[in-house]
Chain A
Amino acid sequence: MASVALTHLDPASRAAARGWSDLTIRNLFIIPTLVFLIIFNIFPLIYSLGYSFTNFAANRSEPWQFVGLQNYRELLSDDHIWSNFIITAKYVIVSVAGQMIVGFGLALLLNRSFPMKGLITTLLLLPMMMSAAVVGLFWQLLYSPSWGPINYVFGLGDFAWLSNPDSALYAVAITDIWMWSPFVMLLSLAGLSAVPQHLYEAAAIDRAGWWYTFTRITLPLVSPILLIALIFRTMEAFKTFDIAYTMTTQPTAELIAIRLYKQAFQQWDTGKSCALAYIVLIMVLAITNLYVKYLNKVKER
């Protein structure tokens, strides 16, 4: 299959115009990429799978032993880890739902022509171009009970968003919504602008109401791309580390990625951390698979 693909170089392509042979392209681009991927991605992935069945600790020079499924057994029966997973689930649901609603809402508002549309769209995209650690530090200041503008604007007095164990996680989720709604907005905007205009015109002739048009035309046609945004955001939210780590140290906001970091790089429990990383990976894969199945169904419709 690969060789078939390689023998047919599009004669109009720039590479062909330069007189590059398929072999050159393979040697110059494909092989280095594959080697890079294998060395830095595939190999560590398999190697860490091996570690997850041992009691290896990177800071000890003692020889490690094969412990079978012990790491997995210990992790899955550890209450702390389960509470981390529950925290992560709450975080994913709140932050992804928020991003979908805000992002899609913004896209609906932007999907018409008005003056300075380009400028406003670009400005709205700014949050997602910032570094997550910087966003975390800034929002920490915004939430400050003594001088933070958020409490001032909403008249919340000295409500301590990040020091209150019940609100810390949601405060982080709100920050994540602020940062990543533009991403959903961008994808939705692309989806919305691809909806054929004649459908709306037909609906208007039939005197269809706004809600009817929205649920019967807009939503079904945009849903595949919305689902893609949902998949990306769920995967990302599941492994959130930077924002949460810089904003709070509340155990009630300790996401699974933070627990994993502590286990791997503060306690140097390498074997067990590898096992935990695999548990997280399997969970993310399972959730993504469900989404993809659903996405295919939606596309078939």
Chain B
Amino acid sequence: MRKLVTSVLAGIGLTLACGTSVYAQEKELTIFWAEWDPANYLQELVNDYTAETGVKVTVQTTPWPDFQTKAFTEFNAHGDAYDMVVGDSQWLGAGSTQGHYVDLTDFFNKHKLGDVMAPATVKYYAEYPGGSGKYWAIPLEGDAIGWSYRKDWFEDPKEKEAFKAKYNYDLDVPKTYAQLRDIAEFFHRPDQKRYGVAIYTDNSYDAMAMGVESAIFSYGGDLGDYATYKVDGITNSKEAAAGLDMYKELYKFTPPGWGKTFFVEDNQAITGGLAAMSMNFFAFFPPLVNKATNPFADATGFFANPAGPDGKRFAALGGQGISIVSYSKNQEEATKFLEWFIKDETQKKWADLGGYTCSQAVLKSEAFQNATPYNKAFYDTMFMVKDFWATPEYAEVLDQLNQNIYPFVVGGKGTAQEALDKTAAEWKATFTKYNRYK
């Protein structure tokens, strides 16, 4: 009898359990992002949300070079394949003005996210137009340009002595671009198959532009006035040209054939023992501290982008905010998800999994800063970032910059001033075409 009751109860329980889960599985959310480790961390994170609420959340990914094309093809077709998208900061202009993104201003103000998230991330990942107080995304993955370096080469007493003799100061983590250049020159020994520095040179999307703008910003230059679209005298200022010149100077000390390089090659420069220093986005640093992927993991250190000649210090911003797609049929459910995502404990878990949280509280905590060898450099960097244009026509603007700086940096054609003069003229024509000067 008891057996019978137990089995009947178990049966009822099972039916109920299945019933609820079937009911719950009806609600599904899809997040679209690029194919990289943080997307896997995000999938791990959102599994908790599914466990808590029963709403299934899937993180769909596509390789980086296709990311922009695929997302915008879906937006342009007003497709509802994605409920949320973790879009590049430069997409904000197109996303907001073309109606692809849901306006999150009320959500933002209600949860006082302006105070919760780091100021730079709010400014560049969420707000458009700049200073308007209108928000289109929640900062999700903070990222910026940083550097990895070979600690063992830097700390070798013989190298230190030789460096001091040649340059008259101690070999250490570079504080300025001039020092970075010296160190790159010092370690550039092609006969030993050792090279000075690895930088971005791929011009098929924004890789090279991010590297170049980091130097331009630190040299006191700017890409233009993002509010008024003024470019003459800003884009092609002397400071900007000096920054671009420095980038070209660094290219001299790269490994051979360094003409189409992005995050993969720059990490290989370290894991392959090729270069003394390597530029990369912080998001690509985790494999460098993993012995399975980097034989020199113990000897790899990290530092934030160095300063220019006047002590100004900036780094190009990467990273993304999460937006709700306006063609999604699950906008309400997506808003609920975002409410869960911004909770302090979720953000903490996000950081623990390897995500670069933008939450100030987590960023400032000792636990976060000591969690990895690069978190401290990341924290320092997130308060000195600047971004590229975020106007709806940014892809055109980016292409024009690429067309002009690539032949100069990699091909050695013309001068930095000429490259930037031409860029400024073409940008002005483009902004005129889109009626930006009213």
Query: What B residues does A162 contact at CB under 8 A?
Result: 257, 259-260
Contact of A218 with B by CB under 8 A = no
Q: How far is the CA of A268 from the CA of B411 in the complex (A)?
A: 28
A/B interface sample: 13 pairs, CB < 8 A: A145-B257, A146-B274, A160-B257, A162-B257, A162-B260, A249-B406, A250-B260, A250-B411, A251-B403, A251-B407, A267-B399, A268-B76, A269-B396
Given A146-B257, A249-B203, is A61 in contact with B410 using a C-beta cutoff of 8 Å?
no
Q: How far is the CA of A233 from the CA of B41 in the complex (A)?
A: 47
CB distance from B365 to the nearest CB of A (A): 40
8 extra interface residue pairs, beta carbon distance < 8 Å, beyond A61-B99, A163-B258, A163-B410:
A58-B76, A60-B392, A158-B257, A164-B259, A265-B73, A266-B69, A266-B395, A267-B399
Contact of A165 with B by CB under 8 A = yes
Closest to B78 in A: A61
Closest to A80 in B: B403
- Among residues 185 to 215 in chain B, which have CB atoms less than 8 Å away from a CB atom of chain A? 190, 193, 201-205
Contact of B255 with A by CB under 8 A = yes
CB distance from A189 to the nearest CB of B (A): 37
Contact of A26 with B by CB under 8 A = no
Query: What A residues does B259 contact at CB under 8 A?
Result: 160, 162-164, 168, 248-250
CB distance from B394 to the nearest CB of A (A): 9
Contact of A216 with B by CB under 8 A = no
CB distance from B66 to the nearest CB of A (A): 10
B193→A165 contact, CB < 8 A:
no
Given A59-B75, A59-B98, A145-B256, is A267 in contact with B396 using a C-beta cutoff of 8 Å?
yes
Contact of B72 with A by CB under 8 A = yes
Contact of A71 with B by CB under 8 A = no
- Among residues 244 to 290 in chain B, which have CB atoms less than 8 Å away from a CB atom of chain A? 255-260, 274
CB distance from A168 to the nearest CB of B (A): 8
Query: What B residues does A59 contact at CB under 8 A?
Result: 72, 75-76, 94, 98, 392
Closest to A165 in B: B411
B395→A158 contact, CB < 8 A:
no
A residues in contact (CB < 8 Å) with B:
58-61, 80, 143-146, 158, 160-165, 168, 245, 248-252, 262, 265-269
CB distance from B44 to the nearest CB of A (A): 30
B residues in contact (CB < 8 Å) with A:
68-69, 72-73, 75-76, 94, 98-99, 190, 193, 201-205, 255-260, 274, 392-393, 395-396, 399, 403, 406-407, 410-411, 413
CB distance from A254 to the nearest CB of B (A): 9
Query: What A residues does B99 contact at CB under 8 A?
Result: 61
Query: What A residues does B205 contact at CB under 8 A?
Result: 266
Closest to B396 in A: A267
Question: Which residue among A59, A144, A145 has the maximum number of chain B CB atoms within 10 Å of its CB?
Answer: A59
A165→B395 contact, CB < 8 A:
no
Q: How far is the CA of A160 from the CA of B201 in the complex (A)?
A: 14
A268→B257 contact, CB < 8 A:
no
Question: Which residue among A61, A162, A249, A252 has the maximum number of chain B CB atoms within 10 Å of its CB?
Answer: A249
A163→B403 contact, CB < 8 A:
no
Q: How far is the CA of A168 from the CA of B72 in the complex (A)?
A: 31
CB distance from B203 to the nearest CB of A (A): 5
B193→A146 contact, CB < 8 A:
yes
Closest to B274 in A: A146
B98→A144 contact, CB < 8 A:
no
A251→B69 contact, CB < 8 A:
no
Query: What B residues does A168 contact at CB under 8 A?
Result: 259
> Which of B256, B274, B395 sits near A160, CB closer than 8 Å?
B256
B256→A165 contact, CB < 8 A:
no
CB distance from A133 to the nearest CB of B (A): 11
B76→A158 contact, CB < 8 A:
no
Query: What A residues does B393 contact at CB under 8 A?
Result: 267
CB distance from B191 to the nearest CB of A (A): 10
CB distance from A277 to the nearest CB of B (A): 17
Q: How far is the CA of A252 from the CA of B412 in the complex (A)?
A: 12
CB distance from B69 to the nearest CB of A (A): 5
CB distance from B118 to the nearest CB of A (A): 30
Closest 3 CB pairs of A and B: A163-B259, A145-B256, A165-B411
B72→A158 contact, CB < 8 A:
no
B257→A161 contact, CB < 8 A:
yes
Question: Which residue among B190, B203, B258, B395 has the maximum number of chain A CB atoms within 10 Å of its CB?
Answer: B395
Q: How far is the CA of A245 from the CA of B69 in the complex (A)?
A: 15
Q: How far is the CA of A248 from the CA of B410 in the complex (A)?
A: 12
Query: What B residues does A249 contact at CB under 8 A?
Result: 202-204, 259-260, 406
Closest to B70 in A: A265
Q: How far is the CA of A144 from the CA of B72 in the complex (A)?
A: 34
Query: What A residues does B72 contact at CB under 8 A?
Result: 59, 268
Q: How far is the CA of A245 from the CA of B205 in the complex (A)?
A: 12
Query: What A residues does B190 contact at CB under 8 A?
Result: 158
Query: What A residues does B392 contact at CB under 8 A?
Result: 59-60
Closest to A269 in B: B396
CB distance from A109 to the nearest CB of B (A): 34
B256→A146 contact, CB < 8 A:
yes
CB distance from A188 to the nearest CB of B (A): 35
CB distance from A151 to the nearest CB of B (A): 9
Query: What B residues does A252 contact at CB under 8 A?
Result: 407, 411
CB distance from A107 to the nearest CB of B (A): 35
Query: What B residues does A60 contact at CB under 8 A?
Result: 98, 392
A251→B406 contact, CB < 8 A:
yes
Q: How far is the CA of A121 from the CA of B256 in the complex (A)?
A: 37
Query: What B residues does A262 contact at CB under 8 A?
Result: 399
Query: What A residues does B73 contact at CB under 8 A?
Result: 265
Q: How far is the CA of A80 from the CA of B403 in the complex (A)?
A: 9
CB distance from A170 to the nearest CB of B (A): 15
Closest to A168 in B: B259
Closest to B403 in A: A251
Query: What B residues does A143 contact at CB under 8 A?
Result: 257
Q: How far is the CA of A144 from the CA of B406 in the complex (A)?
A: 20
Query: What B residues does A144 contact at CB under 8 A?
Result: 257
Q: How far is the CA of A220 from the CA of B364 in the complex (A)?
A: 81
A61→B255 contact, CB < 8 A:
no
> Which of B98, B193, B399, B403 sits near A266, CB closer than 8 Å?
B399
CB distance from A247 to the nearest CB of B (A): 8
CB distance from A86 to the nearest CB of B (A): 15
